[in-house]
Amino acid sequence: MHLGQATLEAQRAIEEADEVLYLVPETDTVAWIKKLNPNADTLARHYQKGKLRRETYDEMTETILAPVREGKKVCVAFYGHPGLFVNASHAAIKIARAEGHEAYMQPGVSAEDCLFADLGVDPCRDGCQSYEATDFLICHRVFDVRTMLVLWQVAVVAVKDYQYPHSPNHGFPYLVDYLTAFYGPSHVVAVYDKSFFPGEPPKIQKIALRDLNKSHISAMSTLFVPPLAEPEVDEDLRARLKAGERFVARVSNPA
């Protein structure tokens, strides 16, 4: 979240907490959190150069749980949506519940929500496929080129354990080649970087797949691949639906 996208629900949770922990990138939001609740501290101190991300996330989880185990009401504020690519939020809630504490997550505005707005696309028109880039590539996820595709964390393709401040992105060309095989080299995609600051426009690079390796990919970049073609319509089925005719779908089971 940033200040302009914070919900009233989030504001109330911050105000009512005994202790607030936060991980946000800009100073105005930090100042707002501390104004709502002076008993607030950052989780960013766990990031250190050369430290493995798994170790960082484990330390964040324990920092969140420590005051919970003391009986305090704890609120943790993350930028974006707290359930998207936030290991510590899910881990802390799971452990807290297992230990008998009440724990829940409030929704926030994700980078994908901002992408839909900034690129002017409707995920309900053609459908939407959303994958972590490395998972998409190495697991050969089944996808439809007639449906929009959103790929997360393209800056760290095939990086086993991301380290601060940045790991080399040797796997990105493999992702580009894989997409090119399905969409063709002239298909235009968008490299999207959401703005962290209110009033600041996002960075959007629209570029053909053949030139994608030359584009600037930041640690926060998300790749948007628009549909290659319109989907084929089953005209016979559409006519039967329009006529109100009952039918039985027959789907073969690959297993």
Taking only the tens place, the pLDDT of each residue in 145-160 is 999 999 999 988 877 6
Domain-embedded: residue 234? no
Q: State the pLDDT at residue 179.
A: 97
- Same domain assignment for residues 26 and 63: yes
- Is position 79 annotated as part of the catalytic site? yes
Strand pairing partners for 194? none
- Same domain assignment for residues 51 and 93: yes
- Same domain assignment for residues 134 and 214: yes
221: which residues sit within 8 A by CB, 6+ positions away?
Answer: 154, 155, 191, 192, 193
- Same domain assignment for residues 52 and 23: yes
- Give the global pTM: 0.85
**How deeply is 86 buried, as exposed, middle or buried, from its count of CB atoms within 10 A (0-12, 13-18, 19+)?**
buried
Strand pairing partners for 163? 52
Q: Are 210 and 16 in contact (CB under 8 A)?
A: no
- Is position 53 annotated as part of the catalytic site? yes
Q: State the pLDDT at residue 40.
A: 96
Domain housing 125: 111-225
Q: State the pLDDT at residue 236.
A: 87
- Same domain assignment for residues 202 and 154: yes
Q: State the pLDDT at residue 192.
A: 96
Q: Which of 45, 47, 53, 69 is catalytic?
A: 53
Q: Indicate the number of domains in the chain.
A: 2
Residue 194, domain CATH? 3.30.950.10
Q: State the pLDDT at residue 26.
A: 83
The single-letter DSSP state of residue 200 is P
Q: Which of 22, 57, 183, 192 is catalytic?
A: 57
What are the φ/ψ torsions at residue 45 (nearest 5 degrees)? -65, -15
**How deeply is 91 buried, as exposed, middle or buried, from its count of CB atoms within 10 A (0-12, 13-18, 19+)?**
middle
Domain boundary among 98, 129, 157: 98
Residue ranges in the chain whose pLDDT is less than 50 = 164-165
Residue 67, domain CATH? 3.40.1010.10
Q: H-type helices in the chain, by residue range?
A: 8-16, 27-36, 53-69, 87-98, 111-119, 123-126, 133-138, 172-183, 235-243
- Same domain assignment for residues 7 and 43: yes
Domain-embedded: residue 208? yes
Q: Are 23 and 79 in contact (CB under 8 A)?
A: yes
Q: State the pLDDT at residue 5.
A: 86
Q: State the pLDDT at residue 200.
A: 81
- Same domain assignment for residues 94 and 118: no
- Same domain assignment for residues 18 and 90: yes
Q: State the pLDDT at residue 106.
A: 95
Task: Tell me how far CA of residue 124 lies from CA of 31, 60, 209, in angstroms.
Answer: 37, 36, 25
- Same domain assignment for residues 144 and 212: yes
Q: Which of 22, 79, 183, 192 is catalytic?
A: 79
- Is position 178 annotated as part of the catalytic site? no
Domain boundary among 98, 127, 161: 98
Q: State the pLDDT at residue 199.
A: 73
Domain boundary among 49, 73, 98: 98
Domain-embedded: residue 255? no
CA distance 57 to 68: 17
Taking only the tens place, the pLDDT of each residue in 188-215 is 999 999 887 767 889 999 999 999 998 8
Domain-embedded: residue 106? no
- Same domain assignment for residues 57 and 156: no
Structure tokens, 248: 């039985």
- Same domain assignment for residues 22 and 89: yes
